[in-house]
Chains A and B, each alone.
Chain A
Amino acid sequence: GSLAGLIDISAHWMTDLKEGVCLAGFWFNHEHCCWKYNTTFTDRDKCPEWKSWSQLILGHGEGAFAYILNYLMYVIWALLFSLLAVLLVKGFAPYACGSGIPEIKTILSGFIIRGYLGKWTLIIKTITLVLAVSSGLSLGKEGPLVHVACCCGNILCHLFTKYRKNEAKRREVLSAAAAAGVSVAFGAPIGGVLFSLEEVSYYFPLKTLWRSFFAALVAAFTLRSINPFGNSRLVLFYVEFHMPWHLLELVPFILLGIFGGLWGAFFIRSNIAWCRRRKTTKLGKYPVLEVFVVTAITAILAFPNEYTRMSTSELISELFNDCGILDSSKLCEYVNDFNSTKGDDLPDRAAGPGVYTAMWQLALALIMKVFITIFTFGMKVPSGLFIPSMAVGAIAGRLLGVAVEQLAYYHHDWAIFSGWCSQGADCITPGLYAMVGAAACLGGVTRMTVSLVVIMFELTGGLEYIVPLMAAAMTSKWVADAIGREGIYDAHIRLNGYPFLEAKEEFSHKTLAMDVMRPRRNDPPLTVITQDSMTVEDVETIINETTYSGYPVVVSRESQRLVGFVLRRDLIISIENARKKQDGIVSTSIIYFTDHSPPLPPSSPSMLKLRSILDLSPFTVTDQTPMEIVVDIFRKLGLRQCLVTHNGKLLGIITKKDVLKHIAQLANQDPDSILFN
């Protein structure tokens, strides 16, 4: 919570720093600088204390030269921020780049990435997140906030022995931390818990449910007490309208869902193609230059259009907002007829000229955002995906909403409208269309369902809108799934080759365990260690010649009956320790894994007992087990390897990577893209 408050306040200040400074105290952003001043409607953004850069340098704020100067300062500040961010990431904590959610999913599925959740990563990610967001790049801070929250959780685990030693319990803490991260990003504690359940976690036992909820609540409470936005709200775009919607409006909502699904699939395809190009060609060798160029392009294209100049959260907040009499933005410049105004409810009105200019500016902003986000997500700065996709959806939704509103106004005598929308009534709320569009696009990209709907209605407080949100989310998920199978995070996991076994898909082929196990028919036989007849030198040779992470231990080479499984790491450490500390251990000492030492002639060197590092209960399957069951076992128990026996004798081994390669082979993908050992 506190970190999120720090990030929010700093990001707001630095975003406004690109445009000007506050003379009353440089730490105030634009809104807080003008807090105390009475202004007129038209000048609601100006106050004597806030000076834009051209006002500071030249003394006046009007004119072409002042505009160019503002433009230049904007671009310079943006470049400075992003360069600083990428240098800090490169210099101190290279793991702090990217979104973080794909890697956290892999960590929660059992894989260990050392250093990914360390304290340097935490510090650098917090600082560079603020810099990256303020530089005007098309990225959000929700995904990185989840990473930051998991780092906090991991660091806290080090303080308690119970969690430090036990990896399984640590993963529960990380699931709860992910929920807390989303809850402060959106001000949605319940949505955060559901997001952790649906997207991030691999195992989610029920006792983690209430603990995650508690963590999310504490985080939200802390953030609220820091009060970053000055009005006790957690998120910038908390809107509160309760206009009813009509059943016929489901048609445009479903259209928005289709748009969201199409955009999601398009974005995932092009982003993965671009990231793959970044990995394989020379583009990847110049990360700093890449960030520089992308920021320059973004800043240069963003400044002229006021809808891209403002920060994306402010844009979304403005788009979600329904126009009342008190709003004076260009989007709300309808032709007002004062005589028929009753109270606060405004009827549908004809659009004034301001609305038309806003419409084409928004359309340009939409095109720009659609394309620039493809290049921005995946760069070597912390980048999140939620806010840009919500922005794309909100712009599309608002455009459609205003179009439908104008249609209803000018053609209120058509059959479809005359039933519910008589003249002078307020029936269409474009803000709602923006909300539904945002939900549709976000769902199309990440393929979230329940958590998305819960987050959206916690954001807006409008329980009446569950049905439109659900309709749009389901439509976009179906459309996107028809085009491409995976969400963006799963696609990135596959791109990076992490050993992540997808828990949601079913394995429906008829192969058996013996088709997948190693060694295959023409390979050399399985490398095993016998339980009491190998010397230290033999074992060390085996360790040096092969790179397996573990070795099965059998009774003897002839019988091949299984005793247990020993890990490479443990073997190395024990042998080293024994050589240093125990006396009499030389290269010809015999290693035994049994309880009682085998009988030996008295002149031989002392023996090394390593039973304590042996895992006596490795998982085994027979060679005729269908792969469907084997995959299920791997998923549910989180195994890394499984031994295969035939008639009680050890035959081979199946590792998680073999399973993944097999699945990839069956799906006609390139099995070599999985993994790097």
Chain B
Amino acid sequence: GCEFLFPQASTMFARCTRKCASSALLVALLCCILSPPAQASKSSEDIRCKCICPPYRNISGHIYNKNVSQKDCNCLHVVEPMPVPGNDVEAYCLLCECKYEERSTTTIKVIIIIYLSVVGALLLYMAFLVLVDPLIRKPDAYTQPLRNEEENEDARSLAAALTPSGARANTVLERVEGAQQRWKRQVQEQRKTVFDRHKMLS
């Protein structure tokens, strides 16, 4: 039933099969590019064998960890020193449960540091916007009207009329400024709808 939504969609569906194959290929390629980094970070991993032994007769329960490979992960290799004498070892070991676990400390470290840096960057940007930006922008007279915008389309046409003539707007700084103004306006509109009017849509 989607074809009825847009008349041009039906023609797109006809060309679907060839383009579907190519886009599926692209997606698969993206996956292959993305997964090796995840695999590579496992190379410097930590491994351990964790054996949990419950209380047995008069010995209290214990947890043993040892850095062994998966084939050596059993009670006899890991539980040292063995708390029971030789003939009881088998009975004791039957009660113990050994599991092999892996982790990747590099992944954890990288992710936490990325996360903290993103949070820090956002906080710095917010501080910049709140504190420093108004000070910089005070001498600029033509940005004043942007503060008192109404919630209709006039603001957009006003802003369009206010951008300087074509030649100046092409420098990188001007373009960044333009983008930043647009984004600020968008956030302000969103904030007005969500926080002030408590409705999600405008």
B165 at the interface (CB under 8 A from A): no
A676 to B201, CA, bound (A): 9
> What residues on B are CB-neighbors of A380 within 8 Å?
194-195
What residues of chain A lie closer than 8 Å to B171, measured between beta carbons? none
Contact A127 B118, beta carbon cutoff 8 Å: yes
Select one of A94, A116, A205 contacting B2, CB under 8 A: A205
Considering the complex, which residues of chain A in the window 10-47 have a beta carbon less than 8 Å from any beta carbon of chain B? 10, 13, 25, 27-28, 32, 35-42, 44
- Residue B198 CB within 8 A of the other chain: yes
B1 proximity list for chain A (CB < 8 A) = 203, 205, 636-638
Does A496 touch B at the CB level, under 8 Å? yes
Name which residue of chain A comes closest to B103, CB basis: A230
Q: How many residues of A contact B (CB 8 A)?
A: 76
Contact present for B39 and A10 (CB under 8 Å)? no
Binary per-residue interface labels of chain B (162-194) against chain A in the complex, 1 for a CB within 8 Å, 0 otherwise: 000000000000000000000100110011011
Contact string against B for A residues 615-657, beta-carbon threshold 8 Å, 1 for contact and 0 otherwise: 0010000000000000000001110000000000000000000
In the complex, which of the residues B38, B48, B201 contacts A226, with contact meaning CB atoms closer than 8 Å?
Answer: B38
Whether B137 sits at the interface, judged by CB under 8 Å, is no
Task: Answer whether A9 and B108 are a contact pair too, CB < 8 Å, given A35-B46, A94-B190, A127-B122.
Answer: yes
A425 at the binding interface (Cβ < 8 Å)? no
Q: Does B92 contact A (CB under 8 A)?
A: no
- Chain B residues with CB under 8 A of A38: 62-65
Asked whether A35 lies within 8 Å of B103 as measured between CB atoms, the reply is yes
Inter-chain CA distance A591–B167, complex, in Å, is: 34
Contacts of A93 in B (CB 8 A): 187, 190
A120 to B201 CA separation, bound complex (whole angstroms)? 17
Partner-contacting stretch, out of A161-169, A384-392, A432-440 = A161-169
> Is there an interface contact between A325 and B200, defined as CB atoms closer than 8 Å?
no
Number of B positions contacting A (CB below 8 A): 68
B199 and A497: CB pair below 8 A?
Answer: yes
Cross-chain contact of A103 among B5, B55, B183, B200 (Cβ < 8 A): B200
Stretch at the interface among A68-76, A83-91, A402-410: A83-91
B38: A residues at CB distance < 8 A: 2, 222, 225-226
Residues of B contacting A284 in the complex (Cβ-Cβ under 8 angstroms) = 195, 198
Q: B12's contact among A116, A166, A221, A617, by CB below 8 Å, is which?
A: A166
Nearest chain B CB to A554's CB is how many angstroms away?
A: 21
B60 within 8 A of A: yes
Contact A166 B42 (CB under 8 A): no
Contact partner, B34, options A91, A222, A676, Cβ 8 Å: A222
Contacts of B105 in A (CB 8 A): 25, 28, 32
> Which A residues are closer than 8 A to B by beta carbons?
2, 5-6, 9-10, 13, 25, 27-28, 32, 35-42, 44, 84, 87-88, 90-95, 97, 103, 110-111, 113, 115-116, 120, 123-124, 127, 130, 160, 162, 166-169, 172, 203, 205, 218, 221-222, 225-227, 230-232, 278-279, 284, 287, 325-326, 328, 338, 343, 380, 496-498, 617, 636-638, 676
Can you list 11 pairs linking A and B with CB atoms under 8 Å apart?
A32-B108, A36-B65, A38-B64, A84-B119, A120-B183, A162-B19, A168-B5, A338-B57, A496-B199, A638-B5, A676-B197
12 new A-B contacts, CB < 8 A, other than A91-B187, A95-B194, are A35-B46, A39-B62, A92-B187, A97-B194, A111-B201, A120-B187, A160-B23, A231-B102, A325-B95, A617-B7, A638-B1, A676-B197
The 9 A-B pairs of least Cβ separation, nearest first, read: A41-B61, A230-B103, A27-B112, A94-B194, A279-B198, A168-B2, A225-B38, A325-B54, A94-B190
